[in-house]
Structures are given as C-alpha cells and as structure tokens.
Structure 1
C-alpha cells in the first residue's frame, strides 16, 4: 500500500532568523540533484497550523518566459516568502523533479516506465507553528509525496522496471546525502507516515537490483 515519504532535518543551535538561509541551502541542493535550474513552482507562508489559509502565496510560471526573471530562483523566492518571519508560521516551497513512474493502469511485467514530473514540498517551520510540531517534523521537512517511485516489489518488475526503480532510489539518496554533506544539519530522518523504516528498505533495494 502506498505511503507518504518524508525527510526531516534538524539544525544545531537553530534560530528562526537562520531559517531563510537553511531553506535556501536545502532547495539549492535539491536543484543540483533534480537539475531544475533552481526554480520554485509555488511559495507559501501559512500561519498557525495546516488548517489555515496562506497569508502569502506566489505561483511562478517556469517556462520560456521565466528565463528573463530571477524571481523563482530559490534565494529570491525564499527571501520574498520569509520577508516577515514569525514564530507561528510555516514557509512552504513546491519544487519539481523528474522520476520514473509506471504507466497508469499497468501492473508488473506489463508496466511501461516513463519520466514524469513529481512535486516535492520543502517546508520550514517556525517554533510555534502547529503546536511546536517541528520537534517531530524537523526544523525543515521535505515532503516527497507517495513512496511508489521508490518502493515496488522487485519480483513484479522486469529488468527495465528494476533499472528505473534503482535510478529513482539513487536520486533520492543522492539528495539526502547532499543535504547531509552541505547543509550543516545535526540530524536527519527519512520516514514514512506508517512508521515503516524506509532507509533500510531503500538500501536493500539497491543491493538486490545491482
């Protein structure tokens, strides 16, 4: 059954004033792995908790028209969304990368895998947002969406499917390791909503398909 996949990040001696810098660093590492030129799709600022409407939101048009504008670059989008930093706000940035996905409606050996855009949300939490949920979610949380691009029963995959799954896992782990190396975190946790330990499963997947 499909599960939601997250990466939680904590930083040493964290202060709210450093959140824009940390968000930019994580977004820039994502851009390197995703090769998306560092463009943000949507930037939002959400007050108090997830049931509230954003007090700021900007949707960026990232096509040929955006080449003359730097507004959607990570450092600029973060600066605009976090212009007013508040303890009880969350700052969410939607970005995209290309992942191999099995064709809709196809199963097992009949699947045809295609590169498709997938949305990732990178969220920075003020310490009072959602009753201080950063303690469980991290100072920054990366929401990858459903785990299906990385978790499949290898016994149901042909050689091409195993190769595509491996490439997705390698991309995910490359991002996690890049953040660990370049963003100055104190700890991280790759987890699923169901609580299943995913990191071990991903490593096992790589070992089985190599």
Structure 2
C-alpha cells in the first residue's frame, strides 16, 4: 500500500529568525538536484495544519515567468515570510521529475472475433510497461516553534513532503512487470532521493535528519525488500 514519505530536519541552537535562511538553503539543494530553480507555489498556515492559509500564491513558471523574478527561491521566501510569527508554518512547493510506469496496451489488443469471448481474453493481452519522466510536487515546510503545539519536535524545524512513496517502490506493478527496465528506473529515483538527502546533510548545517513514512514502516526496509524481488 502506498505511503506518504517525509524528510524531517533539525538544526542546532535553532532560532525563529534563522528560518528564512534555512528554508532557502534547503530549497537551493533541491534546485541543484532537480534542475528546477523556481518555486511553484507558496502558502502560510496559522496555528495548525487544519487552518486555512493566511497567504497563498501560485506562480506561473512558463515562458511568461522569464519576465518576473518573483518565483526565484530567495524572492519567494522573502515575500511569504515578510512577517515571521512563531505560530505559523511556511510551505513552498517545488517540482522535480521522477520515473513513473505507464501501462500501454497496443492497438492490436482489440478483441478478435475468432476468439471465444467466454475465454479470459485479458490473459491473452500483453501489456508493455513504459517508463516516463513525470513532474512530481515536493512541499518544503518551515515550522514556527509554536505552530501546531510545537510539532517541530516530531516533524522537524523543516519538513519535506515527497508525496506518496510509489516512485521509489513501484507497488502498482505486478511481479512479472518487475524487469530490468523497472530496476533501472526505480534505482534512478532512489538515487535522486538520496542525492538530495545527502546534499542537505552536507551543506545545510543540520544537527539531525529522519526519512520516515506516515505509517511508520521504514522506507529503507521496504526498498530492500522491493529491490530483492527485482533481482
């Protein structure tokens, strides 16, 4: 079953005034790995995760964005955190591309009138699994010390939400679809995730980090088990 994947970061002697700098530093590392240097959206949440945002902006990052510098990391962070409060959370959406499988049914798979329709025709259709690079949203969230009853103790001063862990486990694929091509693309997704994690550890001055899933199941163990089935 798909699971939500997070990376939590803690900083030594953390002060609220340092939050914009720390967010910018983490987002720069993400930009280096993803190749995407612009923010897709920014939101500010008061008090707790269930509250409506007090600030929200969605950026248009296409040819028109060349005329504005608003979505550049430093500028987006400065605008969203113009007023820094200890009971607010500041969220920034960025995107990277991950390999995802897409089942492609060939045109020749249309029903053959010479085949007995009482047979299980689906078993006669061969589905080729195509892999494509698709954009995926990553949410980078900076937590004020009093936001959500000081949830930073569990969630981190900064929490990165990668979305569902599907790109790293490909759990939608059946065993027979876990071929050499699947192995290569899953490993490429894993390498990108690890590259970002290690880059943050090396360049952002963190004191500790935790890669975790919402269910509490360790991603590393799930990856090992999945890749063992690929080999």
User: Aligned equivalents of 1:188 and 1:206: distance in 2?
Assistant: 24
Q: Deviations over 1:102-147 (max 9, x none)?
A: 11688x9742111110000000000011111100000000000000
Indicate how the Cα distance of structure 1 residues 136 and 109 shifts in structure 2: closer, same or farther if over 3 A, else same. farther
Question: What's 1:4 paired with?
Answer: 4
Give 1 or 2 for the bigger CA radius of gyration: 2
Question: What's 1:166 paired with?
Answer: 187
Note the 1:44-63 alignment, pairs <5 A.
Answer: 44-63=43-62
Indicate how the Cα distance of structure 1 residues 137 and 201 shifts in structure 2: closer, same or farther if over 3 A, else same. same
Question: What's 2:13 paired with?
Answer: 13
| TM-score, structure 2 normalization | 0.84
2:208 pairs with one of 161, 182, 187:
187
Query: 1:50 Cα deviation (Å)?
Result: 1.4
1:111 alignment partner, SS class: strand
Q: What do you get for the CA RMSD once the two structures are aligned?
A: 2.2
User: Aligned equivalents of 2:84 and 2:103: distance in 1?
Assistant: 42
Question: What's 1:140 paired with?
Answer: 158
Indicate how the Cα distance of structure 1 residues 130 and 96 shifts in structure 2: closer, same or farther if over 3 A, else same. same
Tell me how many residue pairs correspond in the alignment: 208
Question: What's 2:41 paired with?
Answer: 42
1:121 pairs with one of 130, 139, 143:
139
Question: What's 1:96 paired with?
Answer: 95
Q: Mean Cα displacement is larger for which, 96-105 or 175-184?
A: 96-105
Question: What's 1:22 paired with?
Answer: 22
Indicate how the Cα distance of structure 1 residues 207 and 27 shifts in structure 2: closer, same or farther if over 3 A, else same. farther
Unaligned regions of 5+ residues in structure 2, if any?
A: 106-125
User: Aligned equivalents of 2:63 and 2:46: distance in 1?
Assistant: 33
User: Aligned equivalents of 2:228 and 2:202: distance in 1?
Assistant: 23
User: Aligned equivalents of 1:74 and 1:206: distance in 2?
Assistant: 35
1:103 alignment partner, SS class: strand
